C-alpha cells in the first residue's frame, strides 16, 4: 500500500508527460490534481492504520523488492511508515494537493503543452519527495533526494525564456551537488562503518555505542550528512541558491522551496536522530550553523525589495530555526516547526503569488502599496500567515517556535537562545515591513505602468490589472483560505503542558527518535511561561517596529538606512557571499579548465593542427607532415613523459 | 648476471665509436669548399631535376600490400611443409582453413577492383 | 591431432569461431549484393552477432583453459563477451543511418566491426601474453581503419593517422613491458607467471616491466597522461565508431588489465595499485576539468570518457572482490549510457549539420521530446544521479574503495562526479532551455529509435533493479584465476 503513495503521482507524471499536451488544460490539471488527491487519500488511510497500532510498534514496512544483492550486502527498495514519515507524507500530499489546485488557476495563461509540462514536473516532484520521506534506507532516500533536486531544477528554470531563470536553475543544481557529494560520502562511510544502509539497522548499532567525546567516525559521518542537509535545506554556506530559485513559478516556490523539499535536510537529521545524538560535536555545529543562518538570512530579508526574495530569506531563516532545534536535540520540536512552517510559508508564498498575479507579474515591493482594499481575501489570509510566522500567540508558529526556543534555553544554550530571540524579532519586523509596504499606504502613482518592464513571460498581457485590481480566481482564494485555517489551527496538535496541553504531537513522534541520546529537561511550566511572555513581547515589538517604520513613518526607515550606508549596502548585497564564491571557487576552476587545459593544452596544440591545416592545405601528405612535426609528437612525448615520471618516482624513492 | 651481455656492450661501444670517429676525424681533416653541384644529392651521374618527394598512384601501394600479404602466406607454408608428415590430416585441414580465409580476402579484393590498374 | 590440442578446445572457442565465420560471410555478401542493396549488410552483421551471442549460451558455467592455457573460458570472459557483442550490435544499428548520411558505402565497415569485436573477445579470454597481444592487435588495427572510414573527411583521416601512430608507439611500450615479464619469468602464461613470481623479492626489472605495461594499458583506456589521443580521435572518427571505441575498446582494455595484473602480477600488487591509484586520481580530475569548457559534444564526451576510466580504475585499485564486481558492473552500465548518448548525436547529424556542437542541441526538447528525454537520462546517468544505472555503478565503485580503505580515492571520486554534473547539465540546459538553434526536426530512423529505446530501458532498469547484474558480475569476478585455485583478489 505504501508504494501506492509515490506511485500515484508518478503515474500522473507519466500520463501528463506522454499525452498531456494533447488532452487540453482541464484534463491535464484533473490528472495531476487527481493523482495528488489520491495519494493524499492513501496517505490518510496509511496513517490511520499506523495510529491505531500501539505506540511502541508504530511502523509499517513495505519491502517492494530486493534492490542490490552482492556478496554479503543486500539493500531492498523498502518503504517505511513511522510517525516521522507519517507527518511528512501528510504535509507533502496535503499541502501538495492544495498547491496543485492553486496552480491550475495560476498557470492558466500557459500554452497547453507548457501547462502539461508544468504539471508533469510537479507530479514527478511529489513522487520523488514521497520516496525521499518513505525510504527505509539511505539508498532509497538518496533516490528521492536527487530526484527532488532534479525536479526543482526543472521547475526553477520553467520560464526558461528568462536567462535569469535558467541560470538560477543551474545554480541550484550545482550548489546542491556539493551538498549531495557530502551526503553520498556520509552514506558510504556509514555503510562501511555499520555494514548496512538501512535506518532501522543502523539505529540500534549506533545506540549501542557511547556518544563520541572526541571527533570520531560517527561525528564524521554525521557531519558529511549535514553537508548534504545544508545544501538541500539552504544553510550556510550553501544557502545561496534558494533566493535565486524564486525565479520559478510562485506555486513551485511555495511547494518545493518553502514547504517540502528544502525541509528534507531537517527530516534527514530527524530520521537519523540516533546517529546524530551520538555525535555531540556535529550537533553543536548543526545548532551553530542553524542559528547563524537564521540570523544572517533574517538581516538580509530586512532590506530586500522583491516580495518573493523576502519570503525566500525568511524561509532560509526559518530553516535555520529547525536546524537549531535539531542541533540542541529537540528533534520533535524541529519537526513540529517544519510542519507548522509548511502551512504558513506556503500560505505566504501563495498569497504573494496572488499579489503578483493581480499586479501582472510585478514583484517589486516599492511598486506596490494599498492593495488591501483591492485584494481583501489575499490581504486577510496573508496577514494571518504573517502573524503566524511572527509568533503571535494562538497561531501555529507560536507553538512550534516557542517549543524550539524553550528547548534551547532549557538545555543551557543561552547564547543560541538569545540569537534565536533576536531572529524572532527580525522575523516580525521584515514580515510586517512586507505587509505594510504591499498592502497599506498609498499606491504608487500611475499604477497602469507599474509592471512595465518587469513582466514575467506568463503574465505578458497587462490588460487584467490596468483597469482594476481584483482578487485571484476561486481556485486560488479557496486554497489561501484553507491554508490560513491551517496556519491558525495546525499548532493545536502540540499544545505544551503550560497551557494544560499534553504535546500530543511530540509524544506521537517519540517512537521515531527512540534510542537517541536526549538530555531530559525537567518540566518547568514557570520557566516556559516566562519565556513565552518574553517571546510574545518580542514578536509584538517586532510588529510595532514594522508598523512604526513602514506604515506610520516611512521616512524614518530611510533616515536610519542613510545613517548606516555601510550596513545597508552590506545587507543589500547579501554580505557579498556570491561574489566571494565567484572569486574563490568559480573563477579558479574556470581558469584551470579554460586557460590551462583548454587554451594551453587543447587549443594551441590540438586544434592548431586540426583547424590550421584542415582549412588551408588540402593534400593529405602535407597534412601528415605537419601533424608529425606538431601534435602527434607532443602526444607521444606525453606518453613517454608519463613513463619517465613514473620511473623517476621509483628511482627517487 | 649480466656477464653474457658484456661482449654485446663492447660491440655496441666499438661500433658507435667507429662511426663517430670516422665522421669527426674526416670532418676535422677535410677542406671545406662547397658549391652548388657539390651539394646536390648523388644520383648515378644523372642531374636531379625535380624534388624527390612526389605523388605516386595509390595502386602501387595496393599491389605492394597484396604482395606482402601473399608473401607472408608463403612464409607460413614453408615450416608447415617441413613438418607436414607429423601434423597429418589435422595439419592439412588447418592449412586449408588458413588458405580459405585468405582466399575470401583475395576474392573480396578482386571484386572490389583492387587488382585492376587505372 | 598434435599433442596439446584436442577437439574440446575447438568446441570451447565456438563463439569466436562463429564470429569469425560471420565476419567472412559479411565480407562475401558485401561483394555479392548489388550496390543499391548494400544496406542489408547491417542485418547480416546483426545476425552474426546474434548467432555469436546464442553460441555463448552453452558456456554459462564453463571454467576451463583452452589449448594449454592460451585462452580461458570462464564467466569473467563471458561477461565481457556479452558487453562487447551488445555494444557491437548497438553500434551496427547506429551506423545504418550514419553511413547513409555520410554517403559512405558500408563495405568492409561491418566486417571490421566484427573483427574488432573478435579481438576484444580474445583479449577478455586471454590468459597468455601472446593471445592477449593478438587480440589487442586485431582490435586495434580494425579501429585504425574504422577511425578513418569517412574518407572525404579530413578530420576522420587525421583521427585515423593519429590513432595509428600513437597506438603503434604505445604498443611498443606495452610489448617492451611484456617482453620483460616473459624474460623474468620464462613463460608467457599469466597463471604460470604468477606462480613464478610468487614469493620473489621485488626485482627492479620487474618494476620496470610493470611501469611499461601500465603505460601501454593506460594508453588503451585513455588514462591521463596517456590520454591525449582520445579527444582528437573521438572527435574525428565516425560517431558510431567513436561510441564503439569508447565503450568496447575501453572495456576490452580493462579486461586485459585485470587479466594481466590480477592474474599475472598479484605479487607486484603493491606497486601497480599505487600506480593505478595515482592514475585514477589524475585521470578523473583532468578529464572532468578539461570537459568543463568543451563546446563540441563529441569532444566533451571524450573527456568524460577519460574521466570514467578514472572512476573504473578505482575498482581495480580496491582489488577486492567487491571492487572487481563494481568494475564489471560499471563497464556494463557505462556501455549503455555512452552508446545512447552517441546515438543521440548520430540522430542530430544531418547532411548540412554536424550535430555535434553544443548549440545543435538547442531546443531539442521542442523538436524531439523523446531524444531530449533520452539524452537527459544518459547525462544524469553519466553524472551518477539516481535512479539511473550510473548511480548504482558509482555507488558500488566508491563503496568498494571505502571498503578497501581507499577513503581519499572515494572522496576524490565523489567530488569529481559532482564537478562532472556541471557539463552534463549544460547539455540539458541547451536541450530544454535554450531557444531552437535549428529550425527543423532531427531526422529519426527506426534503427536509431531501437538503439535509444534499448539504452533508455537499460539505463532505467539497471538503476531501479540492478540486482541481477550485480549477481552476475559478482559471480564473474569470482571466477578469475584457474579453476579450483583461490583467486588473487584481496
Most distant CA atoms of chain A, gap in Å: 94
Where do the structural domains in chain C lie, given as residue ranges?
Answer: 7-485
Pick A453 or C185 by higher pLDDT: C185
User: For A130-139, A320-329, A426-435, A471-480, which range has the lowest pLDDT when averaged over its residues?
Assistant: A471-480
Q: Tell me the pLDDT tens digit for each residue of C344-373.
A: 998 888 766 777 888 888 878 778 888 888
Taking the mean position of all CA atoms in its chain, how far away is CA A614?
51
Task: Give the residues across from A68 on adjacent strands.
Answer: A75
Q: Tell me the pLDDT tens digit for each residue of A230-258.
A: 999 999 888 888 888 888 889 998 988 88
Domain annotation covers residue B118: no
Q: Is the predicted pLDDT of residue A458 greater than 50, yes or no?
A: no
pLDDT-derived band at B1, boundaries 50, 70, 90: low
Q: What does the H/E/C string look like for A172-197?
A: HHHHHHHHHHHHHHHHHHHHHHHCCC
The whole-number pLDDT of residue A449 equals 43
CB atoms closer than 10 angstroms to residue B23: 10
Q: Quick check: C382 and C390 in contact, CB under 8 A? A: yes
d(CA C307, CA C313): 10
Pick A180 or A604 by higher pLDDT: A180
The whole-number pLDDT of residue A512 equals 85
- Who's near C269: CB < 8 A, 6+ residues apart? C261, C319, C488, C490
Q: Quick check: C481 and C263 in contact, CB under 8 A? A: yes
Q: Give the mean model confidence (pLDDT) for residues A45-67.
A: 87
Q: Quick check: A149 and A265 in contact, CB under 8 A? A: no
> Phi first, then psi: what are they for A61, rounded to 5°?
-115, 135
> Residue B105: which CATH number?
1.20.58.1610
To probe the interface with C, which of A143, A146, A646 has the most C CB atoms within 10 Å? Answer: A646
**How many CA atoms does the CB half-sphere of B14 hold within 13 Å?**
6
Count A/C contacts: CB-CB distance under 8 Å.
175
Of all residues in chain C, the percent with pLDDT exceeding 90 is 54
Pick A464 or A336 by higher pLDDT: A336
Nearest Cα residue in chain B from C27: B108
To probe the interface with C, which of B111, B114, B115 has the most C CB atoms within 10 Å? Answer: B111
Cell numbers at A447, concatenated:
499604477
Nearest Cα residue in chain C from A595: C293
Q: What does the H/E/C string look like for chain C?
A: CCCCCCHHHHHHCHHHHHHHHHHHHHHHHHHHCCHHHHHHHHHHHHHHHHHHHHHHHHHCCCCEEECCCCEEECHHHHHHHHHHHHHHHHHHHHHHHHHHHHCCCCCHHHHHHHHHHHHHHHHHHECEHHHHHHHHHHHHHHHHHHHCCCCCCHHHHHHHHHHHHHHHHHHHHHHHHHHHHHHHHCCCEHHHHHHHHCCCCCCHHHHHHHHHHHHHHHHHCCCCCCCCHHHHHHHHCCHHHHHHHHHHHHHHHHHHHHHHHHHHCHHHHHHHHHHHHHHHHHHHHHHHHHHCCCCEHHHHHHHHHHHHHHHHHHHHHHCCHHHHHHHHHHHHHHHHHHHHHHHHHHHHCECCECCCEHHHHCCHHHHCHHHHHHHHHHHHHHHCCCCCHHHHHHHHHHHHHHHCCCHHHHHHHHHHHHHHHHHHHHHHHHHHCCCCCCCCCCCCCHHHHHHHHHHHHHHHHHHHCCHHHHHHHHHHHHCCCCCCCCCCCC
Q: Give the mean model confidence (pLDDT) for residues C469-489.
A: 75
State the residue for C-alpha cell 546542491: A176
Q: Give the mean model confidence (pLDDT) for residues C442-452.
A: 84
Nearest Cα residue in chain B from C20: B101
CA-atom Rg of chain B in angstroms: 26
Q: Quick check: A468 and A443 in contact, CB under 8 A? A: no
Cell numbers at B38, concatenated:
657539390
d(CA A103, CA A119): 9
The whole-number pLDDT of residue A468 equals 62
Q: Is the predicted pLDDT of residue A124 greater than 80, yes or no?
A: yes
The DSSP letter of residue A445 is: S
Which chains does chain C touch, 3 or more C-beta pairs < 8 A? A, B
d(CA C44, CA A507): 70
pLDDT-derived band at C102, boundaries 50, 70, 90: confident
Average pLDDT, chain C: 89
The Cα of B44 is separated from the nearest Cα of chain C by a number of Å equal to: 35
Cell numbers at A301, concatenated:
530579508
pLDDT-derived band at C6, boundaries 50, 70, 90: confident
Tell whether B112 lies on the interface with C, counting CB pairs under 8 A: yes
The Cα of B94 is separated from the nearest Cα of chain C by a number of Å equal to: 11
Tell whether B86 lies on the interface with C, counting CB pairs under 8 A: yes
Cell numbers at C79, concatenated:
561477461
Domain annotation covers residue B116: no
CB spacing of A180 vs C429 below 8 angstroms = no
Cell numbers at C356, concatenated:
555535434
Tell whether B77 lies on the interface with C, counting CB pairs under 8 A: no
The whole-number pLDDT of residue A599 equals 55
Which chains does chain A touch, 3 or more C-beta pairs < 8 A? C
CB atoms closer than 10 angstroms to residue A214: 6
d(CA A183, CA A226): 7
Cell numbers at C465, concatenated:
533493479
Q: Tell me the pLDDT tens digit for each residue of C71-85.
A: 999 999 999 999 999
CB spacing of C158 vs A609 below 8 angstroms = yes
Nearest Cα residue in chain C from A160: C433
CB spacing of A634 vs C421 below 8 angstroms = no
CA-atom Rg of chain C in angstroms: 21
Nearest Cα residue in chain B from C28: B108
Q: Which of residues 11-50 of C touch B (CB under 8 A)?
A: 24, 27-28, 30-31
The whole-number pLDDT of residue A445 equals 60
Cell numbers at A76, concatenated:
531492498
Helices in A209-330 by DSSP H: which ranges? 217-232, 241-244, 250-254, 264-271, 273-277, 280-303, 307-327
Of all residues in chain C, the percent with pLDDT exceeding 70 is 95
Cell numbers at C35, concatenated:
550496390
State the residue for C-alpha cell 516580525: A428
Tell whether A57 lies on the interface with C, counting CB pairs under 8 A: no
Domain annotation covers residue B1: no
Which of C218, C386, C471 is facing A70, going by the closest CB pair? C471
pLDDT-derived band at A450, boundaries 50, 70, 90: very low
Domain annotation covers residue B117: no
The Cα of C18 is separated from the nearest Cα of chain B by a number of Å equal to: 14
Pick B39 or A322 by higher pLDDT: A322
The Cα of B111 is separated from the nearest Cα of chain C by a number of Å equal to: 6
CB spacing of B112 vs C2 below 8 angstroms = no
Pick B2 or A407 by higher pLDDT: A407
CB spacing of A169 vs C392 below 8 angstroms = no
Q: Tell me the pLDDT tens digit for each residue of A521-574.
A: 777 778 888 888 888 999 899 999 888 888 887 777 778 878 888 887 888 888
d(CA A178, CA A395): 37
The whole-number pLDDT of residue A102 equals 92
Question: Which range scores top for mean pLDDT: A138-147, B36-45, B55-64, C422-431?
Answer: A138-147
Which structural domain range is residue B24 located in? 6-111
Average pLDDT, chain A: 83
Which of A67, A153, A610 is facing C158, going by the closest CB pair? A610
Q: Give the mean model confidence (pLDDT) for residues C124-133.
A: 94
Residues of B in contact with C30 (CB under 8 A): 108
CA triple C202-C207-C210, angle to 5 deg? 130
State the residue for C-alpha cell 543499391: C36
Tell whether B36 lies on the interface with C, counting CB pairs under 8 A: no
Q: Is the predicted pLDDT of residue C321 greater than 70, yes or no?
A: yes
b (16+ CB within 10 A) / e for A433-443 = bbbbbbbbbee
State the residue for C-alpha cell 595509428: C164
Q: Is the ipTM of this complex over 0.85?
A: no
pLDDT-derived band at C18, boundaries 50, 70, 90: very high
Q: Quick check: C235 and C299 in contact, CB under 8 A? A: yes
Of all residues in chain A, the percent with pLDDT exceeding 70 is 89
Residues of C in contact with B90 (CB under 8 A): 1-2, 5
To probe the interface with C, which of B94, B97, B108, B114 has the most C CB atoms within 10 Å? Answer: B108
pLDDT-derived band at A614, boundaries 50, 70, 90: very low
d(CA A337, CA C420): 36
Helices in C57-74 by DSSP H: which ranges? none
The whole-number pLDDT of residue C482 equals 66
To probe the interface with C, which of B104, B107, B113, B115 has the most C CB atoms within 10 Å? Answer: B104
Cell numbers at C261, concatenated:
595484473
CB spacing of C425 vs A593 below 8 angstroms = no
**How many CA atoms does the CB half-sphere of A638 hold within 13 Å?**
21
Cell numbers at C312, concatenated:
573504473
pLDDT-derived band at A425, boundaries 50, 70, 90: very high
Q: What is the DSSP string of C2-23?
A: -TT--HHHHHHTHHHHHHHHHH
Q: How many domains does chain B have?
A: 1
User: For A163-177, A196-210, C134-148, C213-227, which range has the lowest pLDDT when averaged over its residues?
Assistant: A163-177
Domain annotation covers residue B80: yes
Amino acid at each position: 500500500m505504501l508504494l501506492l503513495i509515490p506511485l500515484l503521482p508518478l503515474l500522473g507524471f507519466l500520463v501528463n508527460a506522454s499525452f498531456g499536451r494533447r488532452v487540453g488544460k482541464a484534463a491535464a490539471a484533473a490528472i495531476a490534481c487527481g493523482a495528488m488527491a489520491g495519494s493524499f487519500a492513501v496517505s490518510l488511510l496509511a496513517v490511520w492504520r499506523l495510529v491505531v497500532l500501539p505506540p511502541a510498534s508504530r511502523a509499517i514496512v513495505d519491502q517492494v523488492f530486493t534492490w542490490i544483492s552482492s556478496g554479503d550486502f543486500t539493500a531492498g527498495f523498502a518503504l517505511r511508515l513511522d510517525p516521522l514519515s507519517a507527518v511528512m507524507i501528510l504535509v507533502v500530499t496535503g499541502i501538495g494537493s492544495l498547491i496543485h489546485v492553486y496552480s491550475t488557476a495560476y498557470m492558466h495563461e500557459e500554452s497547453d503543452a507548457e501547462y502539461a509540462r508544468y504539471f508533469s514536473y510537479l507530479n514527478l516532484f511529489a513522487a520523488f519527495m514521497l520516496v525521499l520521506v518513505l525510504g527505509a534506507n539511505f539508498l532509497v532516500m538518496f533516490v528521492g533526494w536527487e530526484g527532488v533536486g532534479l525536479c526543482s531544477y526543472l521547475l526553477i528554470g520553467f520560464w526558461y525564456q528568462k536567462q535569469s531563470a535558467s541560470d538560477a536553475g543551474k545554480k541550484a543544481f550545482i550548489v546542491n551537488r556539493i551538498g549531495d557529494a557530502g551526503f553520498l560520502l556520509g552514506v558510504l562511510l556509514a555503510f562501511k562503518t555499520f555494514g548496512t544502509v538501512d535506518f532501522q539497522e543502523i539505529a540500534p548499532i549506533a545506540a549501542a555505542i557511547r556518544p563520541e567525546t572526541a571527533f570520531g567516525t560517527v561525528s564524521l559521518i554525521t557531519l558529511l550528512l549535514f553537508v548534504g542537509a545544508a545544501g538541500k535545506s539552504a544553510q550556510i554556506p550553501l544557502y545561496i541558491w534558494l533566493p535565486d530559485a524564486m525565479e520559478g513559478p510562485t506555486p513551485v516556490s511555495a511547494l518545493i522551496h518553502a514547504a517540502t523539499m528544502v525541509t528534507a535536510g531537517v527530516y534527514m537529521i530527524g530520521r537519523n536522530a540516533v546517529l546524530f545524538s551520538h555525535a555531540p560535536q556535529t550537533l553543536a555545529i548543526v545548532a551553530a550553523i542553524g542559528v547563524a543562518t537564521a540570523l544572517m538570512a533574517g538581516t538580509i530579508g530586512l532590506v530586500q525589495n522583491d516580495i518573493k526574495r523576502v519570503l525566500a530569506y525568511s524561509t532560509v531563516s526559518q530553516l535555520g530555526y529547525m536546524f537549531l532545534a535539531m542541533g540542541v536535540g529537540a528533534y520533535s520540536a524541529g519537526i513540529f516547526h517544519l510542519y507548522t512552517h509548511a502551512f504558513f510559508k506556503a500560505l505566504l508564498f501563495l498569497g504573494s503569488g496572488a499579489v503578483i498575479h493581480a499586479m501582472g507579474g510585478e514583484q517589486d515591493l516599492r511598486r506596490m502599496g494599498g492593495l488591501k482594499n483591492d485584494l481583501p481575501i489575499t490581504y486577510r489570509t496573508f496577514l494571518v500567515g504573517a502573524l503566524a510566522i511572527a509568533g503571535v500567540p494562538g497561531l501555529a508558529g507560536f507553538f512550534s517556535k516557542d517549543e524550539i526556543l524553550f528547548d534551547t534555553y532549557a538545555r543551557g544554550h543561552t547564547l543560541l537562545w538569545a540569537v534565536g530571540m533576536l531572529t524572532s524579532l527580525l522575523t516580525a519586523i521584515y514580515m510586517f515591513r512586507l505587509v505594510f509596504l504591499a498592502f497599506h499606504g498609498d499606491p504608487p502613482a500611475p499604477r497602469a505602468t507599474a509592471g512595465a518592464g518587469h513582466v514575467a513571460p506568463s503574465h505578458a498581457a497587462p490588460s487584467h490589472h490596468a483597469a482594476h485590481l481584483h482578487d485571484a480566481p476561486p481556485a486560488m482564494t479557496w486554497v489561501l483560505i484553507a491554508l490560513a485555517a491551517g496556519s491558525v489551527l495546525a499548532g493545536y496538535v502540540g499544545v505544551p503542558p503550560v497551557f494544560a496541553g499534553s504535546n500530543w504531537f511530540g509524544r506521537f513522534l517519540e517512537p521515531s527518535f527512540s534510542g537517541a541520546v536526549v538530555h531530559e529537561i525537567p518540566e518547568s511550566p514557570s520557566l516556559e511561561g516566562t519565556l513565552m511572555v518574553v517571546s510574545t513581547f518580542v514578536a509584538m515589538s517586532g510588529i510595532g517596529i514594522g508598523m512604526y517604520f513602514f506604515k506610520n513613518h516611512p521616512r524614518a526607515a530611510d533616515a536610519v538606512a542613510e545613517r548606516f550606508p555601510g550596513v545597508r549596502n552590506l545587507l543589500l548585497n547579501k554580505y557579498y557571499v556570491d561574489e566571494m564564491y565567484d572569486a574563490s571557487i568559480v573563477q579558479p576552476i574556470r581558469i584551470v579548465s579554460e586557460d590551462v587545459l583548454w587554451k594551453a593544452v587543447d587549443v594551441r596544440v590540438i586544434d592548431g593542427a586540426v583547424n590550421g591545416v584542415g582549412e588551408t592545405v588540402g593534400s593529405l601528405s602535407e597534412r601528415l607532415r605537419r601533424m608529425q612535426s606538431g601534435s602527434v609528437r607532443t602526444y607521444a612525448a606525453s606518453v613517454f613523459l608519463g613513463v619517465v615520471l613514473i620511473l623517476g618516482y621509483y628511482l627517487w624513492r | 648476471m649480466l656477464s653474457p651481455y658484456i661482449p654485446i656492450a663492447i660491440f655496441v661501444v666499438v661500433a658507435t665509436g667507429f662511426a663517430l670517429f670516422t665522421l669527426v676525424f674526416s670532418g676535422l681533416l677535410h677542406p671545406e669548399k662547397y658549391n652548388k653541384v657539390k651539394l646536390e644529392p648523388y644520383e648515378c651521374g644523372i642531374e636531379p631535376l625535380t624534388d624527390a618527394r612526389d605523388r605516386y598512384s595509390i595502386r602501387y601501394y595496393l599491389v605492394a600490400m597484396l604482395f606482402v600479404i601473399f608473401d607472408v602466406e608463403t612464409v607460413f607454408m614453408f615450416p608447415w611443409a617441413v613438418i607436414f608428415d607429423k601434423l597429418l590430416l589435422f595439419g592439412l585441414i588447418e592449412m586449408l582453413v588458413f588458405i580459405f580465409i585468405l582466399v575470401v580476402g583475395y576474392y573480396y579484393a578482386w571484386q572490389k577492383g583492387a587488382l585492376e590498374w587505372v | 591431432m598434435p599433442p596439446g590440442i584436442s577437439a574440446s578446445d575447438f568446441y570451447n572457442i565456438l563463439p569466436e569461431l562463429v564470429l569469425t565465420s560471420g565476419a567472412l560471410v559479411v565480407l562475401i555478401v558485401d561483394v555479392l549484393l548489388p550496390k543499391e542493396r548494400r544496406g542489408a549488410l547491417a542485418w547480416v552483421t546483426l545476425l552474426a552477432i546474434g548467432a555469436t551471442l546464442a553460441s555463448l549460451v552453452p558456456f554459462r558455467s564453463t571454467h576451463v583453459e583452452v589449448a594449454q592455457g592460451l585462452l580461458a573460458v570462464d564467466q569473467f570472459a563471458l561477461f565481457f563477451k556479452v558487453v562487447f557483442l551488445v555494444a557491437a550490435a548497438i553500434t551496427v544499428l547506429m551506423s545504418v543511418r550514419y553511413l547513409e548520411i555520410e554517403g559512405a558505402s558500408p563495405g568492409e565497415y561491418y566486417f571490421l566491426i566484427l573483427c574488432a569485436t573478435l579481438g576484444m573477445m580474445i583479449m577478455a579470454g586471454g590468459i597468455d601474453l601472446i593471445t592477449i597481444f593478438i587480440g589487442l592487435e586485431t582490435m586495434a588495427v580494425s579501429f585504425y581503419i574504422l577511425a578513418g572510414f569517412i574518407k572525404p573527411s579530413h578530420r576522420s583521416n587525421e583521427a585515423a593517422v593519429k590513432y595509428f601512430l600513437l597506438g603503434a608507439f604505445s604498443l611498443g611500450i606495452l610489448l617492451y613491458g611484456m617482453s620483460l615479464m616473459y624474460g623474468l619469468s620464462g613463460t608467457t602464461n599469466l597463471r604460470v607467471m604468477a606462480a613464478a613470481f610468487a614469493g620473489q623479492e621485488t626485482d627492479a626489472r620487474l618494476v620496470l616491466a610493470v611501469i611499461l605495461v601500465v603505460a601501454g594499458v593506460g594508453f588503451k583506456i585513455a588514462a591521463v597522461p596517456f590520454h591525449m589521443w582520445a579527444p582528437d580521435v573521438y572527435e574525428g572518427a565516425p560517431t558510431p565508431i567513436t561510441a564503439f571505441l569508447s565503450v568496447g575498446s575501453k572495456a576490452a582494455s580493462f579486461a586485459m588489465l585485470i587479466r594481466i595484473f590480477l592474474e599475472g602480477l598479484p605479487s607486484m600488487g603493491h606497486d601497480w595499485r599505487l600506480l593505478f591509484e595515482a592514475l585514477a586520481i589524475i585521470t578523473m580530475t583532468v578529464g572532468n576539468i578539461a570537459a568543463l569548457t568543451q563546446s563540441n559534444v563529441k569532444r566533451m564526451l571524450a573527456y568524460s570518457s577519460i574521466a570514467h576510466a578514472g572512476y573504473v580504475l578505482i575498482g581495480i585499485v580496491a582489488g577486492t572482490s567487491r571492487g572487481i564486481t563494481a568494475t564489471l558492473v560499471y563497464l556494463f552500465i557505462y556501455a549503455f549510457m555512452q552508446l545512447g548518448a552517441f546515438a543521440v548525436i548520430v540522430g542530430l547529424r544531418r547532411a548540412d549539420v554536424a550535430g555535434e556542437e553544443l548549440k545543435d542541441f538547442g531546443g531539442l526538447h521542442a523538436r524531439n521530446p523523446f531524444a531530449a528525454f533520452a539524452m537527459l537520462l544518459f547525462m544524469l546517468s553519466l553524472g551518477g544521479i539516481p535512479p539511473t544505472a550510473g548511480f548504482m555503478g558509482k555507488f558500488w565503485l566508491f563503496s568498494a574503495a571505502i571498503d578497501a580503505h581507499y577513503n581519499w580515492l572515494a572522496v576524490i571520486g565523489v567530488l569529481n562526479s559532482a564537478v562532472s554534473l556541471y557539463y552534463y547539465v549544460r547539455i540539458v540546459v541547451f536541450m530544454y532551455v535554450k531557444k531552437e538553434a535549428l529550425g527543423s526536426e532531427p531526422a529519426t530512423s527506426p534503427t536509431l529509435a531501437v538503439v535509444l529505446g534499448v539504452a533508455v530501458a537499460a539505463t532505467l532498469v539497471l538503476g531501479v533493479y540492478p540486482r541481477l547484474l550485480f549477481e552476475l558480475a559478482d559471480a564473474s569476478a569470482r571466477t578469475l584465476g584457474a579453476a579450483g585455485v583461490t583467486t588473487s583478489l584481496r
